[in-house]
Amino acid sequence: MDRRTFVTGATLAGAAGALTACGGPSPTTANCVSTASGETFEWKMVTAWPRDFPGLGTGANLLADYIARLSGGRLTVKVYGGGELVPPFEVFDAVSRGTAEMGHSTSYYWKGKVPAAQLFCSSPFGLTAQEINGWLYYGGGMALYREAYEPFGIIPFAAGNSGTQMGGWFKKEIRSMADIQGLKMRIPGLGGEILERAGGTPVTTPGSEVFTALQTGVIDAAEWVGPWNDQALGLFSAGDYYYYPGWQETGSTIEAMVNAEAFAALPDDLKAVVEIAAQAMNTDMLAEFTFYNARALKTLVDDHGVQLRAFPDDVMERLQTLTWEFLEEQAAGDEFYGRVLDSYRDYYESVTPYSRITEQYLMGLRQGA
């Protein structure tokens, strides 16, 4: 038995015992009674990812497994990969109308419905995975996230994070902002908005189609996630240069969406199961991506001869300026967007000085690697 199997098994068993005894994640004397009933529930989960795709697709599977084990089998979830029940970019609508009780995706895909939703995933030059969790769980971010989805009958949960991503695969080198002009790049969310401001052409393409689009020249560049997922898609044989850092996605939250009526129909202990399983998945996915991205990067460089490149400083400075200009403009014309951005920025400004003298400074001192 590997360590992960042992740890998650023991953790889930303990959590399941606590939930059965107390009916919630924060038991008190008043609620420490069993809420379990003999009723069972069978849900469907639709995802934006190819079935069993490393990290993302397997993360959806693991979330379903957590829910089944924590609930003692009283709540089971059948997972559908992107395109199996609904197309990847129709996950939101499927959950909203109740075609599926759950969805597994990321919020920037739904900018056409709720423009501010993108901030709950990631913002260019924004919060890291560790920082965005602080905002969501303790800085008011989750309350705003749920307010954003409430009109659609959806309750969102943070259910994973891919960490800081890579900047993407390019067929030509990026030496200045001039090389961004006319660049057709697969890049969703706010990153795509900023690329367009910079003179490029953003394209939103499902993961299953990224390799073909890049290989055939339909697009000139593509960002997907990072070394682990990019290797799985074979992007190293379609793009010549691998750029860093992932300015466009600095710590991307993966969401589990739940149909509000389906959630309301659950007894309290199973509601807590869903919430705790999502939070466990939020921790697990980040750990998994961190571990396998490091391995995959070494393989890409050592075995496949991938050429790593850092974006020029002046390109990064210009894109960062464009980011804040864009966010301010969006907030000026959308009251809810303004409230989300105010909350995000307040937390960003409070956490950055701390991060600068802790993780950032310590990384600069590391030697021998």
**Interval 209-219: pLDDT, tens:** 999 999 999 99
DSSP designation for 124: T
What's the pLDDT score for residue 18?
A: 47
What's the pLDDT score for residue 126?
A: 97
What's the pLDDT score for residue 97?
A: 98
DSSP designation for 117: G
What's the pLDDT score for residue 29?
A: 30
Query: What is the mean pLDDT of the segment spanning 141-156?
Result: 98
What's the pLDDT score for residue 38?
A: 81
CA distance 207 to 123: 20
Q: Hey, is 5 helix, strand or coil?
A: helix
Contact 253, 158 (CB under 8 A): yes
What totals of helices (H) and strands (E) does the chain contain, helices first? 13, 11
What's the pLDDT score for residue 31?
A: 40
What's the pLDDT score for residue 32?
A: 36
Flag whether pLDDT at 123 surpasses 80.
yes
State the first-to-last Cα distance of the chain, in angstroms, to the nearest integer: 31
Q: What percent of the chain has pLDDT over 70?
A: 89
What fold characterizes domain 11-163+251-291?
Answer: D-Maltodextrin-Binding Protein; domain 2 (3.40.190)
Reported as a pLDDT band with limits 50, 70 and 90, residue 15 is: low
Least confidently predicted of 12-26, 156-170, 242-256, 324-338: 12-26
CA distance 310 to 246: 10
What's the pLDDT score for residue 369?
A: 61
CA distance 336 to 273: 30
∠82-86-163 over CA atoms, to 5°? 35
CA distance 85 to 348: 38
